Structure 1
Amino acid sequence: MLNLLWLQSGGCGGCSMSLLNAESPDLLSLFENAGINLLWHPSLSEASGHECIEMLEGILAGDIALDILCIEGAMMTGPMGTGKFHIMGGTGKPMIEWVQALAEKAIHTVAVGSCAAYGGITAAGSNDTDATGLQYDGEMRGGLLGKDFVSGSGQQVVNIAGCPTHPDWVTETLMSIALGEHQDDNLDKFGRPRMYADHLVHHGCSRNEFYEYKASAVDMGDRGCMMENMGCKGTQAHADCNTRPWNGQGSCTNGG
C-alpha cells in the first residue's frame, strides 16, 4: 500500500470538490484498486486535532512512510518570509514549514491545482500574502521548495495545474505513480502531466467551425468563435477540456 497525505493551504478547496466528482472509477474505488492508503485529507478524513498532528509527527519521525504528498492551495510565505499568515491549527507552526519538512520525507510530491503549482489566484494582484507555488513562482522555477528540489524518487514536483483540476487529471496521475510508471519525462516544461497538457482547449472545441471561417461572437451569448472579441484563450491554454468534457459533457467554451 502507498500512503498518501493531502494538505490544503492558500486556496478555495475547489480542486478537492472537483475530485469528488471523479467517475470510472470514483475516488474511493481508485484508492482501493491502486493500493493507495489515504492517511489524511482535511475534508474526507475523520481524524482531527491531536490525531492529525500525531500522524504528521510520526511521518517526520520516520515511523510512518509517506509515499505521495499532495498539496492543494498556494504556499503563503508572508509576512517577510515567516509564513505566519498561515499557521497550521494547533501547532503554532507555519504551514510552509510543515510542507518543507514533509516534502523531504515524501517519495513523490504533487501540486494539485494552479495555486499549489504556481501561486495561482492566491498570488494574483498585489499578492499581499507573498503566495507562491511548491516549485514554481508563476512561470519561474523556484517556489517554496526551490528549483532544484527532487522528491525521494529523484523526481521534481508534479504540477497538476488547473483551476480547478479535472478529476481525471488527478486520478490518472496518482494511478501512474501507483503503477510505478511516472517519470519526469511525462511532464512538460512547466511540470504538468503531458497526458493533458500536450492538448489545447482549442482542440475539440464545438466552436471550431466558427474559428476556421473567422465568424466571431461580438456579445455575450452570440454564436461564433469567442477568441477575437470575447477574450477566449483556448488557442493558448493547455488542457484537454473539450476532448475530455467535465462531468461527461461540459467545458468553458461549450458554456460560452
Structure 2
Amino acid sequence: MTKAHDDFTLLWLQAGSCGGCTMATLERGASGWFEELRGFGIRLLWHPSVSEETGEEARAILARVERGEQKLGALCIEGSILHGPEGTGLFNKLSGTGRSMLDWARALAPRADYCVAVGSCAAFGGVPAGAPDPTDASGLQYSGVDIGGALGPDYRSVKGLPVVNVSGCAPHPGWIMETLLALSLGRFTQADMDDYGRPRIFADHLAHHGCSRNEFYEFKASAEDVSERGCLMEHLGCKATQAVGDCNQRAWNGGGSCTQAGSTCIACTSPGFEATRGFHRTPKIGGIPVGLPLDMPKAWFVALAALSKSATPKRVRENARSDRVARAPTPSAEKKLGTEKKKT
C-alpha cells in the first residue's frame, strides 16, 4: 500500500460548524476513517471531537504547531470563520485558549503544507453566512463567490497552494479522504483544482450525472410533488444540472444520494447555495426555469424540452407522476426485440 511521505500529519479544527462534515468523514470506508488514515501513513495530531487529548494536552499540540516545532502536513478547518463582532472574531473562540478561531486560522494556516476547507461553510461561508449574518461569517479564502475570506486572496500554503475547498453540505467522505491522500502523496497541484479551489475529482462532474431519474429528465417528464418519481428540475427546484459533484456516481452511506432519496439537489457544493429561497420550488420566467443546465444555451433547452415532451412514452409520463412504478416495461416489447434480432 502506498503511504504518505515523511509522516504526513493532520490537524483538524472546527469553527462555526454544525459538525456535519466530521460526521460525514467518520463514515468513510469499510474499516472506518481512522484505519484509513493509519493505512496510508497519515497521522492525526488532533481533532476536537474525536481525539483523547483535552485541556493542556490539546493546547500544547496547537502551540507546537504554531511555533513551528511540529511539522504540519494538512490543516483542515470545518465550519465558517466568524469575523464578528467588529472584526474581532470573538463570536467563536477555541475553548480554553482565549483566542478566536479567526486568530487560530491565521496563525496556523501559514505553517501548513496544505490548508483544506472541509465543507461549504469553511470554503465559502455557507449557512452561517446566509442573510441576515450578524456573525460576519466567511470561508477561509472566499466570501461567497468573492475571493478573500479570512486568510485573504494572496494566501498560499507552505507548498504553494491556495486553500483547497472540499465543499459540500456535507461533503462526500470520499472527497475528503481522497483529497487528503493525494495531498499526502504530493500528487495534488493547482491544476487539480477548479476556479473555486474545489478538487476536480468531484468538481469535474455534475450531480446530474448518474441520477436515477435521468430517463424522466430526458423526456422532461416532471414530478410535481416530492413523493413522485419524475424529474425534479422543472417544478421542484432541483439544481443537479447546475451543481458540481459526482454525488450520483458514488454511494453515500452505502448506497444513496439526495435525488435517490426523493429530495432535490440544492447545489450545496456551490458558493451562495444558502441564499436559495424555497429549495423545493423552481423559479421561472415565462414558464421557463431560471436555472438551466450549465453548458446548454436557453434556446436549445426550450427547443429540446418541447421535442422531448412530445415524444414522451406513456409509461414514462405515468411513472413520473406516481410514487411507485405505475406502468412497467411491457414483455411484448421484449418479444418484438427478440424477433428483430433473429431476422438480422
TM over 0.5, shorter chain:
yes
State how far apart, in whole Å, the 2-side matches of 1:161 and 1:87 are: 23
CA contact (8 A) 1:3 1:66 kept: yes
1:54 equivalent to 2:60? Answer: yes
State how far apart, in whole Å, the 1-side matches of 2:35 and 2:99 are: 34
State how far apart, in whole Å, the 1-side matches of 2:175 and 2:80 are: 19
CA shift for structure 1 position 248: 2.8
The aligned counterpart of 1:33 is 39
The aligned counterpart of 2:182 is 176
State how far apart, in whole Å, the 2-side matches of 1:151 and 1:25 are: 31
CA contact (8 A) 2:81 2:125 kept: yes
CA shift for structure 1 position 24: 4.8
The aligned counterpart of 2:195 is 189
1:213 equivalent to 2:255? Answer: no
CA contact (8 A) 1:74 1:120 kept: yes
CA shift for structure 1 position 136: 0.5
CA shift for structure 1 position 49: 1.0
Q: What amino acid maps onto 1:18 in structure 2?
A: A
State how far apart, in whole Å, the 1-side matches of 2:253 and 2:64 are: 38
CA shift for structure 1 position 183: 0.4
RCO higher in structure (CA 8 A, sep ≥6): 1
Give the alignment partner of residue 23 of structure 2, picking from 10, 14, 17. 17
Once the two structures are overlaid, the 10-residue window that deviates more, 23-32 or 140-149, is 23-32
The aligned counterpart of 1:115 is 121
Q: What amino acid maps onto 1:155 in structure 2?
A: L
> Equivalent residue of 2:64, what SS?
helix
> Equivalent residue of 1:67, what SS?
strand
CA shift for structure 1 position 25: 5.6
1:138 equivalent to 2:144? Answer: yes
State how far apart, in whole Å, the 2-side matches of 1:115 and 1:31 are: 24
Give the alignment partner of residue 97 of structure 1, picking from 93, 100, 103. 103
Q: What amino acid maps onto 2:103 in structure 1?
A: E
> Equivalent residue of 2:13, what SS?
strand
1:202 equivalent to 2:208? Answer: yes
The aligned counterpart of 1:151 is 157
CA contact (8 A) 1:34 1:179 kept: no
CA shift for structure 1 position 3: 1.3
CA shift for structure 1 position 69: 0.3
State how far apart, in whole Å, the 2-side matches of 1:159 and 1:63 are: 27
- Number of matched pairs: 256
State how far apart, in whole Å, the 1-side matches of 2:136 and 2:215 are: 43
CA shift for structure 1 position 134: 0.2
Once the two structures are overlaid, the 10-residue window that deviates more, 73-82 or 20-29, is 20-29
State how far apart, in whole Å, the 1-side matches of 2:125 and 2:145 are: 10
The aligned counterpart of 1:160 is 166
Task: Spell out, residue by residue over 1:177-216, the C-alpha distance to the aligned partner (whole angstroms, 9 max, x if none).
Answer: 1111010110000100001111111101111110111101
The structure 1 segments of at least 4 consecutive aligned residues displaced by more than 6 Å after TM superposition are none
CA shift for structure 1 position 33: 2.1
State how far apart, in whole Å, the 2-side matches of 1:214 and 1:87 are: 50
The aligned counterpart of 1:125 is 131
CA contact (8 A) 2:29 2:36 kept: no
> Equivalent residue of 1:100, what SS?
helix
CA RMSD of aligned residues (A): 1.0
State how far apart, in whole Å, the 1-side matches of 2:239 and 2:233 are: 7
Gapped runs of 5+ residues in structure 1?
none
Q: What amino acid maps onto 2:48 in structure 1?
A: P
Task: Spell out, residue by residue over 1:91-143, the C-alpha distance to the aligned partner (whole angstroms, 9 max, x if none).
Answer: 21111101100001111100000000000011112111000000010011100
**What's the TM-score once normalised by structure 1's chain length?**
0.98
Q: Identity percentage over the alignment?
A: 52
Which of structures 1 and 2 has the bigger CA Rg?
2
Q: What amino acid maps onto 2:260 in structure 1?
A: N
**What's the TM-score once normalised by structure 2's chain length?**
0.73
State how far apart, in whole Å, the 2-side matches of 1:224 and 1:76 are: 40
State how far apart, in whole Å, the 2-side matches of 1:45 and 1:143 are: 28
Gapped runs of 5+ residues in structure 2?
1-6, 263-344
Task: Spell out, residue by residue over 1:78-97, the C-alpha distance to the aligned partner (whole angstroms, 9 max, x if none).
Answer: 01101010111112111110
> Equivalent residue of 1:107, what SS?
strand
The aligned counterpart of 2:336 is none
Give the alignment partner of residue 94 of structure 2, picking from 71, 88, 94. 88
